[in-house]
Amino acid sequence: MFPFQQRPHARALIPPLVAALLMTTGHATAADDNDDLRARIAALEQRLGVASGEAVEGGDLDQRLRIIERKLELQDEAAAAKAATASTLALDAGKGLSVKAPGGLEVKLRGLVQADLRHFADGSTQNDGFLFRRIRPTLEGTWGPLVGFRLTPEFAGDSATIVDAYVDLKFDPRATVRVGKVKGPVGLERLQSGGATAFVERGFPTELAPNRDLGAQLQGDVFGGVLNYTAGVYNGTVDGRDAVTSNPDGEFEYAGRLFWEPFKNSDGNLGTLGIGVAASVGDTFGAGNNFLPRYRTPGQEQFFGYGSNIAANGERLRKTVQGYYYRGPLGVLGEWITSSQEVRVVSGTGAGTRAKLQNEAWQVVAGWVLTGEDSSFRGVVKPSSPFTLGKAGWGALEIVGRYGRIDIDDAAFPLFANVAASANGARSWGVGLNWYLTQNLKLATSYTQADFDGGAAADADRADEKTLFTRAQLSF
C-alpha cells in the first residue's frame, strides 16, 4: 500500500493508466477485455487501499473509478480533520522542546547553562574558582495569534530569581505591546543574548546601560522590517543592574530606541548593517545601591562607587549611538553611551551640595570565524561541520578582539566619590577564542586586561586587572 501522502498523486494517474489499458486490449474479445480490465483495476484498488470486494461489480469503468476517487477523498478529509484537532510534540536541536495544539497554541522549553572557570592575576580582590554563571530554563510561546509570553528564571547564584517575565499583545508586526520584566531598550550589547556575546563578560558600555526593568513598551518593525522601534515606560533602574521588585521612589523612567537595518531585504551580498540610537530619561531620588550605580570591570570587579553619604537627586539621562556590521565570517560591533545623574551630598562635608555628573563609555568588538561560517549578532548559529567523535567535523572557530574605555566625570572627586577607592577612568582590551562544537555546545576563552586612572591611595593608580575566563555553554 502506498503511504497516505502519495494517494492524491496515485489518483491522478488512474485515468491515464486506464486509457493505456484500453488501447492495449483493442484486439481482444469484449469478455476478455472486461476480465483483464477488472483484474487490473482490482490491482489498482488494492494499491490505493480500497478492497476489491468493496467495489461495485458489473459497473462500468467510469463508475468504479469514481468510487475509488471518492473513497480516497473521504480518507483525505478524515485525515485532515484529525490533524487539525491533534497536538504535536517535537524536539529540535535549535528550537528546544515544543508542543503545538489547535488554535495557535504553542509552548517551547528552551535552556541556557554556563559553567565558568575564572583566573585572576596577583593583586586582584577576586578569588580563582569555578562558578555557574547562568542556569536559565525558558518557557515561551504563543496563545493564539494575539498573545505571546516568556518566563525565564535564574538558578545560578545563591537564590533563584526571575530574569524575564512578560506577555506580548501582537496586534501587528508593526505594533506589539510588551508588559512585564524586560531588557531596557538602550544598550546594544545588553540586548544581545548572554549566550551570543563575543566575550565571556560584556564590556564598559553595558555598565552604563540599564539591564532588566519592570514596565510596558510598544515595539515593532516598519517599512518592511528595515526600521525597528521601541518606546516604553518603566520603574527605572540604576546603570548596569536589574530593577528591584517594586518602584523604590515612585518615579518613572521613559526610554526609546530606533534601529535601522538598510540591507535587511537585499540579497545578502552587502552583509548585515545595523545603526541605532537610544535614550532613557527619568527622575530618581534616594541613597544606596537601588538609586546610584557601582561600575565594574570586564573581570566583574567594582572600580567605582559613590560615597555612602551621596543620594540621587533628580534627572537621570542616558544617550547612546550603536551599530554592528556582519558579512560572511567578519563581525564588528560598537557603541558609545553617556549616563548623567543629578546627585546631592546628604551629610558630612559639603552637605547640601548638588551636581549633575556625566559618565561616558565606548567600545569596539571585532571577530573573524576562522572556519568560514557566517558571523552574526547571535554568534555562529550553526557550524558547517559539527564536532563528531570519530569523524572529520571539528565545529566552528572564532577569534575575537575588544577595546573599550570608561570615563568618570572629574567633578565626582573628591566630594561625591573617594579618590583613594574609586578610579576616575579605565581602559580595557581583550582577545578571545570561541569554539562552537555544535549549535548547542560552545567553549569560550577570554583574556582581558584593564588599567586605571587613580583608584588607589596617595593619588596612585589602581593595579592593572588581568583575567583569564573560560566557559562551557549548553544552549537549546
The torsion angle over the Cα atoms of residues 299, 304, 309 and 314, rounded to 10 degrees, is -100
Rg of the chain's alpha carbons, rounded to an integer?
32
The grid coordinates of residue 373 equal 561560517
Q: How far apart are CA 454 and CA 460, in angstroms?
A: 5
Predicted local confidence at residue 124, as pLDDT: 79
Could you give the angle at the alpha carbon of 120 between the alpha carbons of 118 and 122, nearest 5°?
160
pLDDT tens digits along 89-132:
888 877 789 999 888 899 999 999 999 999 999 777 889 999 99
For residue 195, which of 466, 467, 434 has the smallest C-alpha distance?
Answer: 434
d(CA 238, CA 258): 22
Q: How much of the chain, in percent, has pLDDT values that exceed 90?
A: 75
Q: Residue 206 corresponds to which cell in the numbers above?
A: 553595558
pLDDT for residue 55: 44
* Average pLDDT value for residue range 286-297: 95
29 alpha carbon, distance to own chain's centre: 74
In the predicted model, what is the mean pLDDT of residues 174-179? 98
Q: Where on the phi/psi map is residue 424: left (φ > 0), alpha (ψ -120 to 50), or beta?
A: alpha
User: Quick one: average pLDDT of 395-418?
Assistant: 97
Q: What does the alpha-carbon distance between residue 228 and residue 230 come to, in Å, rounded to a whole number?
A: 7
Region 182-197 average pLDDT: 97
Q: What is the mean pLDDT of residues 250-268?
A: 95
Residue 5 — very low, low, confident or very high, per pLDDT cuts 50/70/90? very low
What are the residues facing 419 on neighbouring strands?
none
For residue 364, what pLDDT band results from cuts at 50, 70 and 90? very high
pLDDT in the model for residue 292: 97
Whether the link from the prior residue into 329 is cis, omega within 30° of 0, is no
For the chain, counts of helices (H) and of strands (E): 5, 20
Give yes or no for residue 195 having a pLDDT over 60: yes
**Can you identify the CATH homologous superfamily of domain 88-475?**
Porin (2.40.160.10)
What is the chain's percent helix, strand, coil content, to nearest 5? Answer: 15, 45, 35
Contact 218, 177 (CB under 8 A): yes
CA distance 19 to 11: 14
DSSP letters of 321-333? EEEEEEETTEEEE
Q: How far is CA 474 from CA 150, 196, 295, in A?
A: 20, 12, 29
How is residue 30 annotated by DSSP?
Answer: H
343 or 37: whose pLDDT is higher?
343
pLDDT tens digits for 312-355? 999 999 999 999 999 999 999 999 999 999 999 999 999 999 99
**Would you say how long the chain is, in residues?**
476
pLDDT reported for residue 71: 72
- What is d(CA 388, CA 447) in angstroms, rounded to the nearest whole number? 28
| CA 70 and chain centroid, separation | 49
Q: What is the pLDDT of residue 27?
A: 47
Q: Which three cell numbers stand for residue 280?
A: 532613557
Query: Residue ranges per domain, the chain?
Result: 4-84, 88-475
Q: In this structure, what are the phi and psi dihedrals at residue 358, rounded to the nearest 5 degrees?
A: -125, 125
The reported pTM is: 0.81
Is pLDDT at 217 greater than 60 in this prediction? Answer: yes
pLDDT: is 54 or 386 the higher one? Answer: 386
